[in-house]
Copies of this chain bind each other. A is one copy, B any other.
Amino acid sequence: MSRKKKYVYFFGAGKTEGHAGMKDLLGGKGANLAEMANLGIPVPPGFTITTEACIYYDRHEKHPPGMWSQVEAALAKLERLMQKRFGDPQDPLLLSVRSGARVSMPGMMDTVLNLGLNRTTVEGLAAITSNPRFAYDSYRRLINMFGGVVMDIGHHHFEDILSAKKQQRGADLDTELTAEDLKEVCNAYESMVRNFDSASFPHNPLEQLKMAVNAVFGSWDSPRAITYRRLNKIPGHWGTAVNIQTMVFGNLGETSGTGVAFTRDPATGARTFYGEYLMNSQGEDVVAGIRTPRPIRYLKRRMPKIYNQLEEIYERLERHYKDMQDIEFTIQDGELYMLQTRTGKRSAQAALKIVLDMVKEGLIDEREALMRIEPQQLDQLLHPMFDPGATYTAVARGLPGSSGAAVGVAVFSSRKAEEWGAQGKDIILVRNETSPEDVGGMAASKGILTATGGLTSHAAVVGRGMGKCVVVGCGALDVDEKKGLMQVNGHIVREGDWVSISGDTGDVILGKVPLIEPTLSRDFEKFMKWADKVRQLEVWANADTPKDARMALRFGAEGIGLARTEHMFFTEERLPLVQQMILAKSDSERDAVLKKLLPMQRKDFQGIFTEMKGRPVVIRLLDPPLHEFLPRREEILEELYKEKARKSHRKKQISELSNLLHEVEAHHEFNPMLGHRGCRLGITFPSVYDMQVRAIMEAAVKVKKNGHRVRPEIMIPLTGTVGEMAITRENAVRVAEEVLKKAKVRIHYTIGTMIEIPRASLVADKIAKHADFFSFGTNDMTQMMFGYSRDDAARFLGFYVEQGILEDNPFSTLDVEGVGEMIKIGVERGRSTRPDLSVGICGEHGGDPASIEFCHVTGLDYVSCSPYRIPVARLAAAQAAIRAPRS
């Protein structure tokens, strides 16, 4: 037979069995208590029951063999150490029971204090402390907590009894009740508990302990905990540990107290001891907010010895853990006890300052510093945000589409947004949903708010690209564009009314919330340079204009991985031309329009090339289906019916509208995402791509002749077959060579393709023979691999993530199992025939840390993302390289 399994680990007073490395077994709290004890820091002694015991209990509905006898042995040891006995009627040992999983996890049973009190021992406690009020208050708290968390009795049942007693005594505060009052309250609690359920409050201390331990075990599988785990991707097999610890009391009088502190300022990161304390109180009093705690610096004057001891401990803890700590302590009768230490949460600014300082202090090195900051956190540093000091009430909440906060006047049409934006007004563009026609209005706005659509809807994707604050899918909005107003939860917002939105939380607020502007600090630049030193993945930007390009460079882009030419088609000046092009009845008519568009596109490209100073610029030829450039069917239909309903028919208008309707219907597609777009257009209407390639190469020639370097890369979208690639490449080369020959200059250019059609990944070996580079279009790839329409999937995606069918929204975080596998196949096959193939991704995932890690591991050369996501991507790439360096 194997040795008995160890389920109980003792800690405190030189008998500690665990340490900080045992979080899996002892939970975070238990492991850190053991660690502190090992460091000689005073913690109330106790013991931890392991997570394995919890899992066994949840599976078998009983303790694992031997566990309880180990508990009893540990308890005996504790009694010897404290020289008190659990349940001793004269001088009872009191215990606390706390849960503690590997990570902090709401939804589980939390804490029961004062275990060991009953009608007998409470008298002993009263006698030995000479403080009957304290004793009965402690007993009252035990019944309340035990009843609540172990016996599942609603808190209000206890609150009612206490309130009744206070009313009876004319007391405002609990503290005004006498020991006798509290004793009566205890009696009332006990009989209420008895009536509430057939079970009584257990007076046997060991039974109290066993019930509390089992309640902690059971709470791991409570519906609330399960939901929390699902949402936060915590495996169910982790389990929780249980910490049983000698009680210490901060409420024994004026030399007792309790407090929480951070070893550095969690808001700014400044290297000052930061915290609050409250004399003569227990932790829950601080939380209840009845009395206001005082800043920790006042403790220095009041109890200098304790304060110095605390300072010494926090410095020791920081040096030991090499990170900012969040600590809890209790002072009992002038003696300090540490109840908890853990890594402290902090703002993005603080996080940055702390790691920079710690590197300077020699606590950690640069690589460790890089691992300490969540890439997502950097986002907070790049956008305006609500003043943290401001208070506000959200009238509704949508989905956080794009980071930052924005304040402006509500406007319900893009036309109006452009008009008012030009006048310098701050605009929030409010729409049911946005479409490519809204791009101008979006650009003119500070923020965008939509009633429908998910995190990858047009508004969110384009808004992120523009670095706008975006809130989408706010179902509470009822937008009436025509009337120029919206209703939201009973409020009416008219055009021109002030609105504030937060792209970090999705909050929608009526009126103005004060904003603070971010700055790219020197700290930030320094930190990013560290990231650049270690990362092996290049970071490029998705940028469609010279302004975007400038922004991208400022954020550290090393190239442009996606310049979408169609965004250049939606401006007021060009859209009519584009529509003429689409509706052209003959090739010559189309060519005439293209001739007008050529110089405009050339100018676009020239501007971008000039900004990018010889860095690679990948320009994607026209991608969306043509009907995106046409008015919507319903709109024409509506106008037509209106026109027909007029008393005096206007034949000309009706006929024009009918013709337009006919054209639009001819371009209608049932599933435009799977329709006549991308290179399918380029092949069926080759003159459009020819014009674009000409514009690109002529622009490159101009830039080169102006003495600058230039590196154009032409990208064919939506390739699915080798034939498409071969034909479009051949055409592009023909036009490019024609331009270069005429200009008598040589410019190195490349021609590659988006890989976004699943089939293309499977035949990548063949396509690579005609392509200089691949750029995985992970948005479309995700759509087709899953068969999800980005615009429609919101109907079930949320539910799927909630149910755990999907780990994440695959449009936010790359689905490594499916889409990732397809990308791997594509990279492998592509490089099998062209080993020097340059490979990147340019979907929305290019700015998502988890997806970036995948790109690093899969051996991609670069990721391309929105300018505002570039710092995030740089850090994520650095972290990926540290975790799994490429050889």
Contact = CB atoms under 8 A, between A and B. Distances in A.
B723 A806 contact: yes
A815 B760 CA distance: 13
A684 B785 contact: no
A787 B637 contact: no
Scoring A759, A815, A818 by chain B CB atoms within 10 A of each residue's CB, the highest score goes to: A759
A673 interface: yes
A828 interface: no
Contacts of A669: 789, 791-792
A539 to B, nearest CB: 28
Contact of A806 (B721, B762, B800): B721
Copies of this protein in the assembly total: 2
A671 B789 contact: yes
21 contacts: A637-B638, A670-B672, A670-B789, A671-B672, A671-B791, A672-B792, A673-B787, A675-B789, A676-B793, A680-B795, A680-B796, A683-B799, A684-B795, A684-B796, A718-B787, A720-B818, A721-B805, A721-B806, A756-B787, A757-B787, A758-B818
Given A718-B787, A757-B786, A787-B780, A673 B676 contact: no
Given A784-B758, A796-B676, A670 B803 contact: no
A785 B787 contact: no
Contact of A641 (B641, B670, B756, B804): B641
A727 interface: yes
Contacts of A671: 671-674, 789, 791-792
Contacts of A815: 759
Interface in A721-770: 721, 723-724, 727, 756-759, 762-763
Given A684-B799, A763-B818, A674 B788 contact: yes
A785 to B, nearest CB: 5
A335 interface: no
Contact of A784 (B763, B787, B795): B787
A573 interface: no
A763 B810 CA distance: 15
Interface string A459-473: 000000000000000
Scoring A671, A672, A787 by chain B CB atoms within 10 A of each residue's CB, the highest score goes to: A787
B674 A787 contact: yes
Contact of A821 (B645, B762, B780, B789): B762
A783 B784 CA distance: 9
Nearest to A806: B721
A103 to B, nearest CB: 24
A596 to B, nearest CB: 26
Nearest 7 CB-CB pairings of A with B: A641-B641, A723-B805, A674-B789, A759-B818, A671-B789, A645-B645, A670-B791
B723 A804 contact: yes
A406 interface: no
B759 A796 contact: no
A499 B574 CA distance: 49
A676 B803 CA distance: 16
A675 B759 contact: no
A173 to B, nearest CB: 48
Nearest to A681: B796
B674 A674 contact: yes
Nearest to A665: B634
Contact of A644 (B645, B674, B723, B762): B645
Nearest to A646: B645
A479 interface: no
Contact of A727 (B672, B786, B805): B805
Scoring A803, A805, A817, A822 by chain B CB atoms within 10 A of each residue's CB, the highest score goes to: A805
B806 A785 contact: no
A723 B803 contact: yes
B803 A785 contact: no
A819 interface: yes
A676 B792 contact: yes
Nearest to A625: B792
B645 A641 contact: yes
Contacts of A783: 674
Nearest to A678: B787
Contact of A634 (B637, B723, B805): B637
A718 B721 CA distance: 25
Contact of A637 (B637, B676, B788): B637
B763 A817 contact: yes
Nearest to A677: B787
Contacts of A819: 759
A822 to B, nearest CB: 7
A727 B724 CA distance: 40
Interface string A618-637: 00000000000000011001
Contacts of A721: 805-806, 818
Contacts of A670: 672-673, 789, 791-792
A571 to B, nearest CB: 24
A302 B789 CA distance: 77
A477 to B, nearest CB: 15
A756 B789 CA distance: 15
Contacts of A759: 785-787, 815, 818-819, 822
Contacts of A637: 634, 637-638, 641
A814 to B, nearest CB: 12
Contacts of A683: 796, 799-800, 803, 805
Contacts of A804: 723
Contacts of A763: 817-818, 821
A195 B796 CA distance: 77
Interface in A123-178: none
A680 B796 CA distance: 7
A785 B758 contact: yes
Nearest to A721: B805
B727 A803 contact: yes
Contacts of A793: 674-676
Contacts of A633: 634
A787 B777 CA distance: 13
Interface in A680-697: 680, 683-684
Contacts of A644: 641, 645
Interface string A83-116: 0000000000000000000000000000000000
Scoring A669, A672, A785 by chain B CB atoms within 10 A of each residue's CB, the highest score goes to: A785
A164 to B, nearest CB: 41
A641 B806 CA distance: 43
Contacts of A718: 787
Nearest to A642: B641
A825 to B, nearest CB: 8
Given A641-B641, A783-B674, A784-B787, A758 B822 contact: yes
A211 to B, nearest CB: 34
Contacts of A787: 673-674, 718, 720, 756-759, 780, 784
